[in-house]
Structure 1
Amino acid sequence: MAASSCQPSHIWSKSAAYNTVNQVTVEAQSVITTGQIHRVPAYKDLRTVIYIWGNNPAVDPADKTHAKAEWEPSIYRQLPDIRIASVSCGPSYMMLLSSCHRLFALGRGDYGQLGLGASLRRVTAPTPISDLPTVTEVVCGAYHCVAIASGGNLFSWGRNDVAGHQEGFTTCSPRELTFMGSETKCRTVSVNQTLTVCACDGGTSLYHWGFSFAGEKIQQPQLFYTFDQTRIRQVALGKSFGLAVSDSGTVYGWGDRTYGELLSLGKRQEPSYFILPTLLKLRHIHGVVSVATGDRHALLLDESGKVWSLGENMYGQCGVPPCHHSSPMQVDFSDSSFPVSKVACGPRHSACVNSGNQLFTWGHSSDHKLIFTSSVDMLVQQQRQPGVSASSGLKNCCSHPQLIYALLHEKVACLGLAAGYTVVVTGEGIVSSEELPPTVELAPNVEETPSIEGTPTVRAKQTNEEGSSEVYLPIQLFK
């Protein structure tokens, strides 16, 4: 007994002495707890931060100064005191609309989509567009951008064959659109890659221009459809179909129905294409408040905060069990008890924000635009499944909404989705000196590193030498 008790004592004491040199003395503070999923946390920082996951169009591939691992988001902190109300995304650029109706451009616009003049085709930081009055809504197409001013006047810029202007090839600054010489006022507007549809005259008339679903070229705005009593408050366009939501919560659809984008009429012989807006019979959905459309799928948000999906579901973008296409089915958010307040769609992926300011994503996952897949690749050090392309979104495509735990400590304000990236804006534009962490002195054996834009941080709690106070040190989350 004596031999067995003294023999390992030397080994363990020696090992402990050696390990002391490499011990980390930081006491970690829990960032995420299960209680945070079912309650709204007390946010410590409400400054506006813009995150971009995926193939960020604002980054020049030739510029190596902003090089980062592909699983890391780009982070923009240039607008800390400006509250962002909405985000609209095109394939190569995005527009940020503030609560005070100012418009900011970010990304690349080879056809003048940025609205910053002919000499400025790429901006790597949010840049205000000065040639506009106060803006209430903005939407981004592939080659053009459209905005509604506070008085209902419509402005567009970009490639003229889709922007609605007749003179020249491109319009690089915002220019007001006229409707056959009349003073028609717009209520809401939507675009896809090459088509624009807006609701005017209090929402009773639909105008369109660009290239229609049937391929017809419409050079300037012309009347498309007039409702008798219905007033449209939102329009959303997919690749070959459109949806319109009325003030009463009914939904109208037109265009292609191949993937179930426009529901089923329950008839034995049904048309595969609706030429004009047709009332959709939503039997189990009452009071639709907003819609979002991808290339071939759509999300409907009802007045109770439930989300319903329909259309193509090949990549799980409908958020329901995998199938070729989905009839209206409710999307399950069992991970959280908050009702959904915002829905968004990219061409093949989807996202939503609930009233607890929590973010969910699902669908096609290429370029890490689903956010949670970036953590997986970081942990396995970019190990790939055999036979699966590194750029394939089928590797980690997800058919069930995934809660983004990394953002539970931040107040998600709005989001925008594009084919290759996802934009998430957090904060309320509130800057207070009391919210800033105290300045700390680094330990002698710690080297100070410059702030790297594009690297998120979390906070760790550390006790000082006296053990009487706490300081917060930034720690790179994905490094």
Structure 2
Amino acid sequence: MLACGGAHVIALTSGGGKVLTWGRGNSGQLGHGDILDSSLPKPVSFFEGYVVTQASAGWSHSAFVSDSGCLFTCGNGSFGQLGHGDNMSLCSPAKVSYFVGKSIKMVACGMRHSLVLFAGNQVCGFGSGKRGQLGVSSQKTKSVVNLPCVVSGLEDVEVVRIAANGDHSAAISANGQMFSWGRGFCGSPDVQTPQCLPSSLSFREVALGWNHALLLTVDGEVFKLGNTLNKQSEKQQDPSEPLLEKVPGFDGVKVVQIAAGAEHSAAVTESGEVHTWGWGEHGQLGFGNTNDQNNPQLVSQGSIDQRARDTKVYCGSGFTYIVRRIQQLSSS
């Protein structure tokens, strides 16, 4: 898997859970013990002897989950987003002591905050809480929280996935409900604690941008909240009710994966096709230009190797990666 942040990337190998990072390293987010950039993937020596099973990249911080359920963080900690009880930045990964013995399932990094899902289906948040993205009650809200605090309102929810980006946070429950909190979409008020999206649809995945969210249903349909181009929808809406709209262009096509950058979106169909749309100023849509696209457009992947399986797409703030697993041919 990959995890793409503000301007850095984390890669986990499929064989032994090894970690490689590259990109901007000015806050120590690459975990190499320095604050240098790296233009090529470089192994994170700290994790020799560990098997890392999941990772997430924020704007300038990184988080890693080991197969033993431990959480490690590094990078910019000035908003407490590393969870170590201070606002210090770290250029090498360090274990978050709060979660020792708690068996981490998943971590998600936003711009300046982090979310953690751990055993018991509990969710914690730490870092910047200015827009409500930590999910604590308004009476307890602080601009900076440097120790993990339990997200309010999810105690009776079986959470199976979490997501974070910008000042947004979200969770998917086992029965397909989507909960979100933090900065409001399309001018809606900020939400201090998780609110369930009123919908009869059953969701299995959520991807967050800075001004929008993508939702993937169990049937392979894609919906959106907000707008990837940071423009108000032409439809009138009650600012207290987020507007859920079906993404056009996928009629009769099953989508199997979604991803969101700062202001662009991507989706993979069942046949392995990749579609992108939204902000294109940095060429992140993959069409050889810097034009914006209001609706999904097919990305040419050249001559696809017939051995290719399991196409995945990953979005950073202003860049995109497509990863295709190649099935090895038998020597016989």
Q: Structure 2-normalised TM-score?
A: 0.84
Change (3 A) 1:433 1:421: farther
Q: Give the aligned partner of residue 328 of structure 2.
A: 430
Moved more, 166-175 or 132-141: 166-175
2:39 to 124, 144, 147: 124
2:300 to 380, 397, 405: 405
Counterpart of 2:88, as a letter, is F
The structure with the largest alpha-carbon Rg is 1
Of the candidates 113, 116, 137, which is equivalent to residue 29 of structure 2? 113
Residues 298 and 309 in structure 1, CA contact (< 8 A), matched pair in contact too: yes
TM-superposed deviation, 1:174: 1.5
- Offset, 1:106: 1.4
TM superposition shift of 1:359: 0.6
Consecutive aligned runs of 4 or more in structure 1 exceeding 6 Å deviation: 321-326, 431-434
Residue in structure 2 matched with residue 301 of structure 1 by the alignment: 216
Contact 1:190 1:198 in 2 (8 A): yes
Give 1:111's aligned amino acid. Answer: S
Of 406-415 and 342-351, the range deviating more from structure 2: 406-415
Q: Distance in 2 between matches of 1:228 and 1:167?
A: 27
State which of 243, 247, 253 in structure 2 corresponds to 1:327.
243
Match of 2:226 among 292, 303, 311: 311
2:316 corresponds to 1:418: yes
Tell me the secondary structure at the aligned position of residue 84 of structure 2. coil
How far has the Cα of 1:418 moved from its partner?
Answer: 2.0
Task: For residue 186 of structure 1, report the CA deviation from its aligned partner.
Answer: 1.7
Q: Deviations over 1:295-354 (max 9, x none)?
A: 0100101111111111135368x9xx87798821212334x8541111000011000111
Instruction: Kindly indicate whether residue 147 of structure 2 is the aligned counterpart of residue 220 of structure 1.
Output: yes
Q: Residue 144 of structure 1: which of 34, 43, 61 is its match?
A: 61
More strand by share: 2
* Unaligned 5+ runs, structure 2: 132-141
Q: How many residues align?
A: 310
CA 1:329–1:407 in 2, change beyond 3 Å: closer, same or farther?
Answer: farther
Is residue 2:133 matched to residue 1:192? no
The aligned counterpart of 1:177 is: 96
1:281 to 177, 198, 206: 198
Q: Distance in 2 between matches of 1:402 and 1:324?
A: 26
Structure 2: distance between partners of 1:322 and 1:361: 21
CA distance in 1, matches of 2:32, 2:244: 41
CA offset digits 1:251-284 (Å, max 9, x no partner): 11222324177xxxxxxxxxx232211222113x
In structure 2, how many angstroms separate the alpha carbons of the residues matched to 1:166 and 1:228?
A: 24
SS across alignment from 2:267: strand
Shift of 1:417: 1.3
**DSSP 3-state at the match of 1:427:** strand
Q: Percent identity?
A: 24
- Structure 2 counterpart of 1:144, one-letter code: H
User: Residue type of the partner of 1:279?
Assistant: C
Structure-to-structure mapping, 1:312-461, within 5 angstroms: 312-314=227-229, 327-334=243-250, 338-372=253-287, 374=288, 377=289, 396-407=291-302, 409-410=304-305, 411=308, 413-428=311-326, 430=328
Q: Which has the higher contact order (CA 8 A, sep 6+)?
A: 1
Structure-2 change in CA distance of 1:183 and 1:324 (3 Å): farther
Question: 1 CA distance for matches of 2:43 and 2:244?
Answer: 40
Instruction: Give the TM-score normalised by the residue count of structure 1.
Output: 0.59
Aligned position for 2:159? 232
- 1:156 paired to 2:54: no
Q: CA deviation at 1:240?
A: 2.8
